[in-house]
Amino acid sequence: MIGLWSLPLLFALPLALGILSLLAAPAWRPRLIFIGLPLMAAASLDTLAGLVTAGPQVYRLGDWIAPLGINLVVDGLAVGMILMTTLVTGLCALYARVYLRNHPTSTSFFWPLLWFLWTGMNGIWLAEDIFNLYVGLEVMGLAAVGMVALRATPPALAAAMRYLLAALLGSLAYLLGVALLYSAYGTLSMAGLQEAATSNATTQVALALIIVGLLLKTALFPLHAWLPPAHGGALTPVSALLSALVIKASFYILLRMWLMLGPEVTPDFTAGLLGVLGAGAVFYGGWMAWRQHHLKQLVAYSTVAQVGYLFLFFPLVTNTGPEAARLAWDGTLMMLFAHALAKAALFLSAGNLILAVGSPQISHLIGISRFRPMSLFSFGLAGVSLMGLPPSGGFTGKWLLLHSALLSGQWWWLIVLFLGGLLSAAYIFKVFRMSFREGPQIDRSVTPPLTLDVVALLLAASAILIGLTAHVPLHWLRLGMAFGAV
Amino acid sequence: MSGAISGYLVFAWSGVLLFGLGLFGFIAHRHIVRRLLAFNIMGSGVFLVLVGLAQDGRGVDPVPHAMVITGIVVAVASTALALVVFRRWYRASGRTDLPEDT
């Protein structure tokens, strides 16, 4: 049995640390990460080692049988998400420890919420049944809402409220879909549903409810309205966590649902429709990002755009032949991982720039390149990946998607990839143009602590690195999936 | 499941009706507390669907009950969090609704 000790720890440990940090005195709460992060990293790496040595499998929690106990799935995708979560959350926690010194009122609840968020995310990556996915979504969602509200200013509270209402509506739609699926097939397990499900009205209504609920939570255009205020208005490490990881959780469920039921059950146009909505998101998000005047709002709208690329997966994987489907899978996951790393880096370096000039306005960045070259360098490296320039992860992902589109004869998605890249370049260079301009605005800047710059640079560098070594993660991510055979 | 609408389907359809009513209230109302009440009505609808559809003569099935209990816990927690955020928002802005999107 693989990962005997590490697998339950992946969500038991952050849960315990969350409760512990609630009990601890506020001064001690940040220090818990020095115990927690190494343990989480060890547990994640042990899970990877288990996957490598023993291959993908299902782990029975406490050895209880399925409807009574909880099954955890350990395949390439789940382990990949766990490792990425550990990397991004760990770095964001190191960033937050320094960053939050300037926000003493917000710190006391950031740390418990961070651990609860981690619990929910790891629960989602590992869940094998559709009800535990719901529980994970709620644990993660409520922690995320709390984190958005941390700033406690009226705009932050309004953003948190809007986020919460959208999340609740999405969860209920998802839960109603789960209720219908269970009553129709008498099982909650993904593998069981895949075997049992047939294309009938109940399944279609259930899947439609699930898909719409998850689209709302993933903030796919035109259901994205809650995202920019929540992600753009939160504290910087919170923005990074939400955009990099939380948004991916509902997409991850959608991905698994689609591979489990989608093509057999849904009408033919569904996959195309999801692709068109994704294309709409790429254009609208890119356009709105370019029009923003606040740096973090720009980065938040960039998330709306980047989420759109992920949805090209559905038309490219449905009824397109094994080779095109495998390329679409590789490309989408590469986009997902590259975006997670690059967006976290972009938010953190944007936060550093804002700290340096003391203003969230893009127009106040004039001349900052002379004072904060390192923050700007991280911003640029992350931007390279978002624009999809080689050799970044974003480039590799787009390249794979492009090949998949050509192979399946759906050339029109190339327009989305190409114009989307141009729009990303437009909004990234908007920031750069301002920062390289010489102006009278500032003649000095505040120097943020070195840790903040180093963390942002590490994340940005990993977004590039994942593109250079793409074949390694992609090989592991295919483990346990139908795409592994090719 | 064929023939006349049997007893268990009455519960399920009531659940669907409650879900629809709640959804309408959730969209139609601006006052945040009303929207939270609507959310709770939607939640009750889902729970009724869960336990209603489980009574179709397959014998006693504890799984939907476990799911409903978990669902109630989640709904209570979400409502509590929403009320806390609402109180802070009301105290900070004096409004009971959210500002329109810009």
pLDDT digits (tens, 9 = 90+) for A238-279: 999 999 999 999 999 999 999 888 778 888 888 999 999 999
Interface test with A, best of B56, B81, B87, B101 (most A CBs within 10 A): B81
Nearest-CA distance B46 → chain A (Å):
6
**Is the pLDDT score of A141 beyond 90?**
yes
Q: Which amino acid is at B40?
A: N
**Gap between the Cα atoms of A192 and B77, Å rounded:** 31
Q: Does the beta-carbon distance from A154 to B93 stay under 8 Å? A: yes
User: Which chain B residues have a beta carbon less than 8 Å from that of A160?
Assistant: 85
Q: Does the beta-carbon distance from A165 to B42 stay under 8 Å? A: no
Q: Does the beta-carbon distance from A186 to B58 stay under 8 Å? A: yes
Q: What does the pLDDT look like over B15-42, one tens digit per residue? A: 999 999 999 999 999 899 999 999 999 9
Three-state SS sequence of A19-74: HHHHHCCHHHCHHHHHHHHHHHHHHHHHHHHHHHHHCCEEEEHHHCCCCCCCEEEE
Helix (H) or strand (E) holding A12: helix A6-23
Region A433-447: mean pLDDT is 74
User: Which chain B residues have a beta carbon less than 8 Å from that of A135?
Assistant: 70, 74
- Higher-pLDDT residue of A1, B61: B61
Region A146-160: mean pLDDT is 91
Nearest-CA distance B11 → chain A (Å):
13
Q: What is the DSSP secondary structure assignment for residue A318, as one 8-state letter?
A: T
Q: Does the beta-carbon distance from B49 to A149 stay under 8 Å? A: no
pLDDT at residue B3, as a whole number: 44
pTM for the model: 0.93
Task: Assess B19–A contact: CB distance below 8 Å, yes or no.
Answer: yes
Which of B63, B71, B92 lies closest to A154 in CB terms?
A: B92
Domain B8-93 carries which CATH code? 1.10.287.3510
**Is the pLDDT score of A358 beyond 90?**
no
Q: What does the pLDDT look like over A393-417, one tens digit per residue? A: 999 999 999 999 999 888 899 999 9
pLDDT at residue B2, as a whole number: 45
Task: Assess B77–A contact: CB distance below 8 Å, yes or no.
Answer: yes
pLDDT at residue A323, as a whole number: 87
Nearest-CA distance B92 → chain A (Å):
6
Nearest-CA distance A165 → chain B (Å):
8
**Is the pLDDT score of A484 beyond 70?**
no
Q: Does the beta-carbon distance from B92 to A183 stay under 8 Å? A: no
Residue A123's pLDDT band (cuts 50, 70, 90): very high
* DSSP one-letter string for A368-408: GGGT-HHHHHHHHHHHHHHHT-TTSHHHHHHHHHHHHHHHT
pLDDT at residue A205, as a whole number: 92
Half-sphere exposure for A367 (CA within 13 Å, toward CB) = 10
User: Which chain A residues have a beta carbon less than 8 Å from that of B72?
Assistant: none
Residue A348's pLDDT band (cuts 50, 70, 90): very high
Nearest-CA distance A176 → chain B (Å):
6
Which of A142, A178, A183 lies closest to B81 in CB terms?
A: A142
- Higher-pLDDT residue of B64, A92: A92
Q: What is the mean pLDDT of chain A?
A: 89
Residue indicated by tokens 């003649």: A443
A12, A68 contact by CB (below 8 A): no
Instruction: Return the minimum-mean-pLDDT range out of A84-88, A357-361, B42-46.
Output: A357-361
Residue indicated by tokens 């624009």: A387
Residue indicated by tokens 């729009």: A423
Domain ranges of chain A: 268-486
pLDDT at residue A1, as a whole number: 46
Residue A448's pLDDT band (cuts 50, 70, 90): confident
**B4-20 exposure pattern, b = at least 16 Cβ within 10 A, e = fewer:** eeeebeebbeebbebbe
Q: What does the pLDDT look like over A285-298, one tens digit per residue? A: 999 999 999 999 99
- Higher-pLDDT residue of B8, A82: A82
Interface test with A, best of B21, B87, B88, B101 (most A CBs within 10 A): B88
Q: Searching chain B, which residue's CA lies closest to the CA of residue A225?
A: B101
Residue A280 burial (C-beta neighbours within 10 Å; 0-12, 13-18, 19+)? middle
The dihedral of CA A122, A126, A130, A131: what is its sign? negative
| CA A204 from centroid of its chain's CA atoms | 27
Q: Searching chain B, which residue's CA lies closest to the CA of residue A186?
A: B54
**Gap between the Cα atoms of A354 and A294, Å rounded:** 10
**Is the pLDDT score of A444 beyond 70?**
no
DSSP 3-state of A438: coil
Task: Assess B38–A contact: CB distance below 8 Å, yes or no.
Answer: no
Region A15-42: mean pLDDT is 91
Q: Which amino acid is at A353?
A: L
By C-alpha distance, which of A455, A453, A456, A345 is closest to A393?
Answer: A345
Q: Does the beta-carbon distance from B86 to A161 stay under 8 Å? A: yes
Q: Does the beta-carbon distance from A160 to B85 stay under 8 Å? A: yes
**Is the pLDDT score of A53 beyond 90?**
no
Interface test with A, best of B21, B39, B61, B78 (most A CBs within 10 A): B78
Region A177-192: mean pLDDT is 89
Q: Does the beta-carbon distance from A152 to B88 stay under 8 Å? A: yes
By C-alpha distance, which of A309, A305, A330, A313 is closest to A400?
Answer: A330
Q: What does the pLDDT look like over A197-245, one tens digit per residue? A: 888 888 999 999 999 999 999 999 889 899 999 999 899 999 999 999 9
User: Which chain A residues have a beta carbon less than 8 Å from that of B32?
Assistant: 161, 165
Structure tokens at A389: 């320039």
Interface test with B, best of A65, A109, A165 (most B CBs within 10 A): A165
Residue A4's pLDDT band (cuts 50, 70, 90): low
Q: What is the mean pLDDT of chain B?
A: 86
**Is the pLDDT score of A485 beyond 70?**
no
A327, A400 contact by CB (below 8 A): yes
